[in-house]
Structure formats: structure tokens, C-alpha cells
């Protein structure tokens, strides 16, 4: 077997050794191993998840050969769970794999405690009644849950977790933490020691843009009553001021300063998102509080005291045109401030842990360091129980989606995926599932959909005939091409939840293969 660092080299570059370790400790349960479930689990097995348990009571039928690559002719008549489990084990022998030949619906009804052993459950192709029951069970046991479903040319993915906290949210774009508009004494002192009017052209070309902006911002404030540029005109004037200090057209450091001048205009203090987190009632910590909220409580104290309204400094600086000496010294100043801030946070964390009766060193230094480095990017995700969403969705959002041309098909599929479950409960089959009687099925599904909309408070709103006809034409088929997309999205969200990196989806993901569109519906 290949060494893990070589085997998982590419993904280690994304979520690091800590993320990979979390994956390798995780235990995943898959309910139903049709193409949607198999595709989801395939991605997780290749990624090196610790163990998998497949629950499916069905046998491999002829129709499975055309939509599930994890069964073949020799599998006909055998346990589907056993065949898929065997195939997945071949893909990565480091993953522990087992199967249970039982229908998930029966397990949900008769043995709810079964699910408490898992890190996360991926429930595929469940109808609404079973989804609601499973969601209650997983919430009670604090087990993460993801629903995934493919149905003809549509499908959905929905996360259900009480609370999910993220330290390493890794946003695509985020402003460097340079504090150009609020320099601390050491940075200001370093900048003041450098002469922007130095006569040596080589030295002038190698003044770091951080120094240029700190000094020019101070100069601007001196002549503008202590305020930084705020209006469009003032920002333009500030850029012209920077340009006027260039002694040659090829001074890249001054061009960098002009390009980065918006960092001076950025508001001081913390973002509204972070403000909501530190104002959360969970910052009133106790013995049962998670490590995350203990550290947030320490952060709240830091911002109000030593931080002076700011979070701990991240401590890194971007590449820039500079002499080696200036750059190294600047780097040391940022790193020293970052380390000093971390030590203050660490002490506050230790004190809080002691105060609530926990081991003062139960949160490792590495975790606190990561928290400090990512303090500006913290995320807290909370998901409403699926039963609440189904019974009391946000009526304003639902009506907005139904009347919005861009979202009407996505929300139409969302409604119809619920309607077909009601239909199946009443008529013991899904619309269009059997040959003949399609017109009757269409009429029944339309009546069911209108009834559902009325129950949700959307009286008078309807779905298009074409969409209802398409839903019947699908006949509850699980197409591999759609299942591969849904499985890919579901496995991506599983990895986010397990590694606690990146921000998981906050609503219901709906895939529309007819128009090649995917959209996120927030109905809570």
C-alpha cells in the first residue's frame, strides 16, 4: 500500500494533515446504495475516510446494471449492499467497509440507536416520512446528517446538523490583515524610521508598499482633521498623492501602493459576521461548551481589552517589492505582534477553562494558534430540523422563489419532490413508475402538488404543466449522470463537515439537469 502522504498528496495540499486525520477517524453510514449513494461513497472512499457501513436490503436487478457502475452481471440476484461494499473496498483497502442487508426504513423504525455509532450519515433516496424520522434521531444523538436524492433529471442535497462551527473557512478572497489604517506602535516606529524622500533611486524603489501606505495615511490624516479618505473623490486624491511621490515611472513599489490603497480605506474593527458570533449566547460558556465557544469567549474578552476592537493579528505579509532587509524586518514585526496576541488569547483560554471546571490545557496550543490566525474568518452554521422546514418554511422566501423566473423551476422541483412522496404514500407507487395510466398520474400529481402548496400557505400559486409532466415522465428513475452530480456535491459537503474546513451549504441544493443549472434554496 502506498504511503498515506504519497497516496493522498493532492488532497493534503487542500485540507492538510489535520483534515486528513479527521477523515481517517470518521465513520460514515450510507443508507441505500443505488447510483446516488454509490457515487457519494466512492468519492469518500477514494479520499481515505476511516470506515463505511452500507445499509440496503435490496438485491441487484437487471436495471441496476445500467445505472450503477459498482455492480456487474455477476452481481445479479445478490445483495446490493454486499456487491457495492466489495467494489468500494477494492478502490481503497485502507478503508474499513461493512454492509447490513436491511432496508433503511425498517432500521429507522426499529433500531434508532444504531445510528449513534457514526460520525455522519448519508441518507439517499429516502421519502419525506423517513427523512423526518431520521433527522430527529440524528439530532438527538448529535450525528451529522446529509440527505441526497436523485429523481429523473433533478436532485437535491440538504445538510441537517444542529450546529457546525468552522475555524478554517478558507474564503476565496479575503483582505490581508495588515492594519495599515490602524498600525500598532512597532509598525509605526518601523515606518517612521524610513525616509520616503531618500535620494538614492535604488533605495527609493525598494521601500515596501506597507511603509509607503502607513506614512502617507498619516500624512493625509494630518491635513484632513485626523480622518482617512472615505468618499470616492478623496480616495482618488489619495491615489494621486501616492503617484506624486514617484521619482520614476518604473517604481513598482509605488504602483503596488496605489493598487493596495483600498486596504487603507477598509473599515477598522471587526466584521458584522464576527460581531454576531461574539454576541451569541453560546459565549456564556459552561462545562458543556465546545472548544470553539470557549475560544470565542476568550476572543470576545481580547477584542474588548488588549485588542482595542481588533482580533489577533494573523502575522503574515504578502510578497511585495522591497529590499531583503526591509522585508525580513517587516515580517518579524508582524510575526512578533501575532505571537504576542496569541499568548494573550492562550492565557485567556486557559483561565476560562479553569473557571468552568475543565482541564486548563484540554485545548491544544496548535488549535488556539489556528483559531487566532483565522479569527476574522470564523463561521457558525445552524440548520433547522427538516420537519420544521417542511411544516413551516419561510413563506416569504417560498413565495419569492415561486414568482421569480430564475428560481421557479428549482423551487418547482423542490415542491414536486415532496409531492411525489405524498403521491406514493396515497397510491403505493410513484407517478409514471409503471407503464400505462400516465395521464391519470399527471392529474393526480397536479392535485397533490396544489394541495401541498395550499398547506404551505401558497394558495393560488401553481407549478407549470410542463414541470409536472416531466416529473411523471421521470418515473422515479435514478439516472447515473444525475446521480454522479448529486453524489459529487454530497461527498464534497461530507468532507467540509468532517474536516471542519470550508463553509458547508446553508440551504437545499437543487440540481436541474434539464437546463444544466444548480441553485441553493434557503427556506428557513
Q: How far is CA 276 from CA 155, 272, 379, 479, 505, in A?
A: 33, 6, 10, 43, 19
Residues 6+ apart with CB under 8 A from 475: 152, 430, 431, 432, 433, 434
Residues forming a β-bridge with 99: 54
Which residues, in sequence order, are CB contacts of 245 under 8 Å at separation 6+?
196, 212, 216, 254
Interacting residues of 524 by C-beta distance below 8 A, sequence separation 6+? 383, 384, 388, 389, 393, 394, 507
Please name the residue that has the C-alpha cell 452554521.
381
Q: HSE, CB side, 13 Å, CA atoms: give it for residue 273.
A: 9
Strand partners, 160: 145
C-alpha to C-alpha distance for 235 and 71, rounded to whole angstroms: 64
pLDDT at 1: 43
CA distance 334 to 317: 8
C-alpha count within 13 angstroms, C-beta hemisphere, residue 275? 6
Its sign, for the CA torsion 51, 57, 60, 62, is negative
Which residue spans within 311-460 are E strands per DSSP? 379-382
- Burial of 138: CB neighbours in 10 Å, binned 0-12, 13-18, 19+: buried
Q: Average pLDDT of each block of 10 consecutive residues along the chain (524 residues)?
A: 72 89 96 97 96 97 91 93 95 95 97 97 97 98 98 98 96 91 95 95 96 96 92 95 93 96 90 96 96 98 96 96 97 98 98 96 96 97 95 92 94 97 96 90 96 92 93 95 97 97 96 96 85
pLDDT score, position 377: 96
Given a contact cutoff of 8 angstroms between Cβ atoms, the answer to whether 151 and 36 are in contact is no
155, β-bridge pairs = 150, 511
- Give the pLDDT of residue 2: 55
Amino acid at each position: 500500500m502506498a504511503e498515506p502522504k504519497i497516496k493522498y498528496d493532492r488532497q493534503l495540499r487542500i485540507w492538510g494533515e489535520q483534515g486528513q486525520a479527521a477523515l481517517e477517524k470518521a465513520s460514515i453510514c450510507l443508507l441505500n446504495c443505488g447510483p446516488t449513494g454509490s457515487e457519494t461513497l466512492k468519492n469518500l472512499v477514494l479520499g481515505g475516510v476511516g470506515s463505511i457501513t452500507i445499509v440496503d436490503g435490496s438485491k441487484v436487478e437487471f436495471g441496476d446494471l445500467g445505472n450503477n457502475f459498482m455492480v456487474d452481471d455477476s452481481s445479479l440476484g445478490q445483495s446490493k449492499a454486499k456487491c457495492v461494499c466489495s467494489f468500494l473496498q477494492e478502490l481503497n483497502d485502507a478503508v474499513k467497509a461493512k454492509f447490513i442487508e436491511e432496508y433503511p426504513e425498517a432500521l429507522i423504525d426499529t433500531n434508532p440507536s444504531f445510528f449513534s455509532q457514526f460520525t455522519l450519515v448519508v441518507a439517499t433516496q429516502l421519502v419525506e416520512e423517513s427523512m423526518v424520522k431520521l433527522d430527529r434521531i440524528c439530532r438527538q444523538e448529535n450525528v451529522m446528517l446529509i440527505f441526497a436524492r436523485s429523481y429523473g433529471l433533478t436532485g437535491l442535497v440538504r445538510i441537517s446538523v444542529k450546529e457546525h462551527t468552522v475555524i478554517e473557512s478558507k474564503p476565496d478572497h479575503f483582505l490581508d490583515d495588515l492594519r495599515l489604517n490602524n498600525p500598532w506602535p512597532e509598525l509605526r516606529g518601523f515606518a517612521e524610521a524610513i525616509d520616503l524622500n531618500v535620494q538614492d533611486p535604488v533605495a527609493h524603489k525598494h521601500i515596501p508598499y506597507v511603509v509607503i501606505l502607513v506614512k502617507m495615511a498619516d500624512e493625509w490624516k494630518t491635513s484632513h482633521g485626523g480622518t482617512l479618505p472615505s468618499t470616492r473623490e478623496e480616495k482618488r486624491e489619495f491615489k494621486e498623492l501616492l503617484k506624486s511621490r514617484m521619482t520614476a515611472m518604473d517604481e513598482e513599489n509605488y504602483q503596488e501602493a496605489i493598487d493596495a490603497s483600498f486596504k487603507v480605506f477598509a473599515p477598522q474593527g471587526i466584521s458584522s459576521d464576527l460581531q454576531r458570533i461574539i454576541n451569541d449566547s453560546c459565549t456564556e460558556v459552561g462545562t458543556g461548551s465546545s472548544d470553539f465557544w470557549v475560544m470565542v469567549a476568550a476572543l470576545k474578552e481580547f477584542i474588548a481589552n488588549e485588542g482595542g476592537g481588533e482580533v489577533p493579528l494573523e502575522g503574515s505579509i504578502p510578497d511585495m517589492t522591497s529590499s531583503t532587509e526591509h522585508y525580513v524586518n517587516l515580517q518579524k514585526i508582524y510575526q512578533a505582534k501575532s505571537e504576542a496576541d496569541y499568548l494573550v488569547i492562550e492565557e485567556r483560554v486557559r483561565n476560562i477553562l479553569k473557571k468552568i471546571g475543565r482541564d486548563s490545557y484540554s485545548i491544544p496550543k496548535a488549535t488556539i494558534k489556528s483559531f487566532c490566525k483565522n479569527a476574522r474568518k470564523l463561521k457558525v452554521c445552524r440548520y433547522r430540523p427538516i420537519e420544521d422546514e417542511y411544516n413551516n418554511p419561510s413563506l416569504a422566501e417560498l413565495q419569492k422563489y415561486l414568482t421569480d423566473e430564475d428560481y421557479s423551476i428549482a423551487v418547482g422541483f423542490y415542491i414536486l419532490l415532496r409531492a411525489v412522496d405524498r403521491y406514493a404514500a396515497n397510491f403505493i407507487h410513484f407517478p409514471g413508475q409503471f407503464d400505462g395510466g400516465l395521464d391519470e398520474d399527471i392529474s393526480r400529481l397536479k392535485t397533490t402538488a396544489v394541495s401541498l402548496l395550499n398547506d404551505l400557505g401558497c394558495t393560488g400559486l401553481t407549478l407549470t404543466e410542463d414541470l409536472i409532466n416531466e416529473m411523471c415522465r421521470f418515473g422515479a428513475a435514478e439516472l447515473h449522470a444525475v446521480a454522479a452530480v448529486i453524489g459529487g456535491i454530497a461527498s464534497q459537503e461530507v468532507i467540509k463537515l468532517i474536516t471542519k474546513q470550508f463553509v458547508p451549504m446553508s440551504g437545499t441544493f437543487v440540481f436541474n439537469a434539464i437546463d444544466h443549472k444548480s441553485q441553493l434554496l434557503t427556506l428557513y
